[in-house]
Amino acid sequence: MLSKEETVIGFIGTGVMGQSMAQHFLDAGYQLTVYTRTKSKAQQLLDNGAVWSASVRQVAEKADVIFTIVGYPSDVEEVYLGKEGLIENGKKGSYVIDMTTSTPSLAKKIYLEAKEKEIAALDAPVSGGDIGAREARLAIMVGGEREAFLHVEPLLNILGTNIVYQGEAGAGQHTKMANQIAIASNMIGVCEAVIYAEKAGLDPEEVLKTITTGAAGSWSLSNLAPRMINGDYEPGFYIKHFIKDMKIALDEAKKMEMEVPGLSLAFSMYEKLAERGEENSGTQALYKYWKQ
């Protein structure tokens, strides 16, 4: 790894999570260049010392290690594999790390094309939402060559507290699918528990004090149930992006000839919410399914 003074980090995508993640690199003393489609979304980072790049290509030409966290697999493909993308224009010996939740097959394609250009590519999706990003407590699941992972692991440690190498290219994305499948059914249970408590005439906040510390405890119960109770549906993670993730997981499960009834139910419920105009709300807005 180059020294901190010599290393230029590129960051593409400064949304709900990316903003905080990029800031951690500035706080750690790294040179940072950023690009996002809407420059105003990166203004706080620029005010704090980041350098603006006017295109993906410019990031590729400047940076030694590039992190991306964008919206959809189509965005990932454009950023990495387009003519103005990272692989075509990146520096030999550089590292590209996609933290978007995307498809395992695309992760493998990026890895192979990057390798031909002597660029090391890792798929490293994350879990922990806006809170985990802000507090640098993300879980990061990594696929790609182990040597590349070990090389950038110190940088990943700036973003998270649970960084696990999962295996070859695509393994990080497969792990994220397992994560999203677990969350999907859990979110139904969290919402039902809160609404049950309310209908029983209980104080749901008092109920949470008990059940979050017992066998029912989960990240969603501790962090998202309080938001439901307070009517806070601001996105830590967008419903539209969770629907995207569930579609990927459903497709992968189908390829494996695996039944996923819990995931299928959650997907149908979130799709109905999106049809009601809730696609830009946080995933905790599933609570509204029972309220409308």
Q: Choosing from 4, 176, 199, 288, which is the catalytic residue?
A: 176
Backbone angles phi, psi at 277, to 5 degrees: 95, 15
If you write DSSP's letter for every residue of 210-238 in order, what string do you get?
HHTTSTT--HHHHHTHHHHHTT----SSB
The one-letter code for the residue type at 90 is G
For residues 149 and 124, give the distance between their C-alpha atoms in angstroms, rounded to a whole number: 10
Q: Are 119 and 65 in contact (CB under 8 A)?
A: no
Q: Are 79 and 70 in contact (CB under 8 A)?
A: yes
What residue has token string 């677990």?
A: 182
**Token pair recorded at residue 134:** 């802000």
What residue has token string 């990057």?
A: 114
Residue 62 a catalytic site member: no
For residues 156 and 161, give the distance between their C-alpha atoms in angstroms, rounded to a whole number: 9
Q: What is the DSSP letter of 288?
A: G
- Write out the catalytic residue numbers: 176
